[in-house]
Structure 1
């Protein structure tokens, strides 16, 4: 990779890691539904200038509801209900585990022995993390958070049906499709009056966090990541996503003073090692096409 593109990949990973911190700050003032809706509304602004990509509405809605709405709403809910930011960034990245598993079930794609080993390692890490639940956040919050990597994985597989569609246009419209029902959900769950109060009394800090989440982390970062995947093999690009949980955890430690007990820290590191085994392993040539598509799933997170 060119030095400039390596720098872009690093900046995207850092941006996605910091997005977890920005989400936590915005959630101090906004409900998970409203915060996620505003994030997608900002990212959907390009839809005012670009046409809907040539993709069926049914597929567009399905991808949007999994890859974006389901993933990010459950993320926001988990963070808002006490799941630490650093831990959230690790759990979301476990989508690689679910993607491989669902691909095997849905398409009969048999994972390689090394991928199977990576899945087992990541699953062990998740079990270790489960052993720490109940001390600083509830089982329910963690269960909702687990919807995020599962939705992410399903969205990855659905994204295969959008081959040849320009990524920038596609993701802008995916954000628009997600934003509309989220606004309705915010009005129903929070009520029109509290929603209006949240919007009109939002602090400058929360507003800047939303702008960073929508314009930078979602719109610009996704576009840059897609461009890298277009220009380079996925095997060269996707490993940079492994930096996301490290950045998220480090930033959370600095900003919020987040600390991890021995078992939780060991579980988080085990998950990351499992993901590394799954991502960095050399795959058979027969799966090279699937590898590129897996890369285009944008293994990030925020």
Structure 2
């Protein structure tokens, strides 16, 4: 990888890691589901008028929009609104790896490798340690609720990952733009139902600079700029060379939240985060292929379902909604 592309990979990790800080900023000024609606409206419009519809069935595009975008981010934003710190959200969301493995095994009959199973087990242990750290923190047992909501966001992401397998070969940028169309109206309708028309109306009437900066960053940088760079790197280099950059996102998220928001995890939360990220790494990173000579073919290691790291495309195919 050239030095320029190496720096671009690091830039993506920085953009996606600090994305959680931008979300936190927007939630100070706007209801979580309204913020999700605004974000994906900006992703879809006006690009949908210029980007051709991807070569994928409508049911796949809608499924990706509902689960990978609306479900994942609606629950993630709600978890952070309920009090889950931005840095921990960046880590806990990676439980999607566990759900992706399980759902792909049940639905697609894809058999996970031993390495992936060990990674998932390590991730579960990490989640447990983070939960223990949350209970022992200042908020007590009540802090578990937003964490569980974030775990549900990981489940939605995992479902979206499996659905997106049917979009292989489709234009990734088109998937991002067209699936974003599915998000705004359901999110607004749900916010009207849960928060009430008065609260939603007030959220739009009092939009401040925090919301504007948050939506511009999450839609413009995290979704469009980050995705474009990531897809370019995947087009030039093997996925195994690109995917490690995504593993930098949780540590960047933790560091950014600590520096910019003063959200410093306790010892147990840090230990659990490290275990969870290590589990994701174990499941995602594969040993290098053994290069052989003569008539012996080079065989890639046995693979299971794709593992999605924070900010990375679906699986490792060129689809990204974060």
TM value normalised by structure 2: 0.87
Which has the larger displacement, 21-30 or 125-134? 125-134
Q: Deviations over 1:66-100 (max 9, x none)?
A: 11111111110110001111111001122222212
2:181 corresponds to which residue?
176
Report the RMSD for the aligned CA atoms in angstroms: 2.2
1:244 corresponds to which residue?
249
Preserved CA contact (<8 Å) 1:121 1:271: yes
1:104 corresponds to which residue?
105
2:171 corresponds to which residue?
166
Q: Does 1:223 align with 2:224?
A: no
Question: Shift in Å at residue 195 of structure 1?
Answer: 2.1
Preserved CA contact (<8 Å) 1:156 1:297: no
Structure 2 unpaired stretches of 5+:
289-298, 308-313
CA shift in 2, pair 1:266/1:286, >3 Å? closer
CA shift in 2, pair 1:51/1:180, >3 Å? farther
Structure 2 distance, partners of 1:287, 1:184, is 44
Question: Shift in Å at residue 5 of structure 1?
Answer: 1.8
Spell out the pairing of 1:48-59 with structure 2 (5 A cutoff).
48-59=49-60
CA shift in 2, pair 1:290/1:227, >3 Å? farther
Q: Does 1:185 align with 2:190?
A: yes
CA shift in 2, pair 1:168/1:297, >3 Å? closer
2:279 corresponds to which residue?
274
Structure 1 unpaired stretches of 5+:
none
Give SS of 1:138's match: helix
TM value normalised by structure 1: 0.92
Q: Deviations over 1:9-56 (max 9, x none)?
A: 111111111110010110011111100100101111211222322322
Structure 2 distance, partners of 1:176, 1:215, is 16
1:38 corresponds to which residue?
38
Relative to its length, the structure with more helix (as a share) is 1
1:285 corresponds to which residue?
300
2:83 corresponds to which residue?
82
Question: Shift in Å at residue 59 of structure 1?
Answer: 1.6
User: What is the count of residue pairs matched by the alignment?
Assistant: 301
Structure 1 distance, partners of 2:316, 2:35, is 27
Give SS of 1:295's match: coil
1:201 corresponds to which residue?
206
Question: Shift in Å at residue 242 of structure 1?
Answer: 0.7
Give SS of 1:211's match: helix
Question: Shift in Å at residue 290 of structure 1?
Answer: 5.8
Structure 1 distance, partners of 2:13, 2:24, is 18
2:124 corresponds to which residue?
123
Preserved CA contact (<8 Å) 1:86 1:248: yes
1:296 corresponds to which residue?
317
